[in-house]
Amino acid sequence: MAKKRSNILNFIAWITGVLVSLSVGFAMVDGILTLPSWLGGNTLALIVGWVVIVTTAISAVLAIIQR
């Protein structure tokens, strides 16, 4: 029973992480979340947003395939 509960909690934690990562990535791409100008501003935020989206999608697909 404890193992089954642990699997469910692990899945909930994983899906939460994926959703938060995608939310942050899309917010950076859309310009809702930006970086300070001394860190690159909107241009770097756009690039980083796409990196977050792509790497999250790849890792989610690989995790699903591995199971």
pLDDT in tens, 3-47: 677 889 999 999 999 999 999 999 999 999 998 999 989 999 999
The confidence score (pLDDT) of residue 23 equals: 97
Q: pTM score, two decimals?
A: 0.84
Between CA 22 and CA 26 the distance in angstroms is 6
The confidence score (pLDDT) of residue 6 equals: 83
- Residue 67 binned pLDDT confidence (cut-offs 50, 70, 90): confident
Domain tally, the chain: 1
Residue 64's φ and ψ, nearest 5 degrees, are -70, -40
Between CA 14 and CA 31 the distance in angstroms is 26
Length of the chain: 67
Half-sphere exposure of 51 (CA within 13 A, CB side): 6
Between CA 26 and CA 33 the distance in angstroms is 9
Domain range for residue 19? 2-66
